[in-house]
Amino acid sequence: MLLNDHSRSVDLRPSRYQFGTVRGDSYDDNWLVVEGTVMTPEGSWAFADPCLLTSEARQVSTWLRAVAGGTVDVTEPDAEGELWPDTWFIEPVVAFSLAQRSSSGTAVIRVHLSLEAAPPWQQGDHGADIYQYVVEVGMEAAALLHAADQWDLSLTSFPPR
């Protein structure tokens, strides 16, 4: 799933289950390793981390479709200026929020990248706050729907086990 505009991109894709064999544990059996490639004016990096359960992964495309449909509210920083996602998961590695929506239909989404997905210049920085590093990407509704379709297609190889 590629989320991109003229200066930034976040490419996310499930690559495998964390554990190749079913162990009989509903959590362990369903962790997906997500690979990501990020390009920003600040720099580029890649990551791979078992950060989404199969059930959580299906929420990503639902959220993208809701943004495209105009039913997700913009998330403003809190009183202390902190950014918090409106879609997050058990592992706080990747999360999403809506930064703004224009009258022309363009949505600026925030991809929150923490811990293993954070940029290399923040890796090991224990002072870096969860969810506070974001890549903002402006996309039209049709592009968001296409990204949701790409994500769903990539998940067909990873049904819940």
Q: Report domain extents, the chain.
A: 2-155
Which pLDDT score, from 0 to 100, does residue 127 have?
54
> Can you read off the two tokens belonging to residue 92?
């706080």
Torsions phi, psi for 36 (to 5 deg):
-135, 145
- What angle, 0 to 180 degrees and rounded to 10, lies between the N-to-C axes of helices 141-155 and 54-68? 160
- pTM of the model as a whole: 0.94
Q: What's the rounded Cα separation, in Å, for the pair 130 and 133?
A: 8
Topology of the domain comprising 2-155: Secreted effector protein pipB2 fold (3.30.2450)
Which residues have C-beta within 8 Å of that of residue 73, sequence separation ≥ 6? 86, 98
> Can you read off the two tokens belonging to residue 100?
């703004």
Closest CA to 89 of 146, 29, 19, 32: 32
Strand arrangement of the beta sheet that strand 107-113 belongs to: 94-101, 107-113, 134-139
Q: What's the N-to-C CA distance of the chain in angstroms?
A: 23
Helix (H) or strand (E) holding 64: helix 54-68
Taking the chain (161 residues) in runs of 10, the rounded mean pLDDT of each run is 97 97 93 98 97 98 97 95 94 97 92 95 74 96 98 97 95
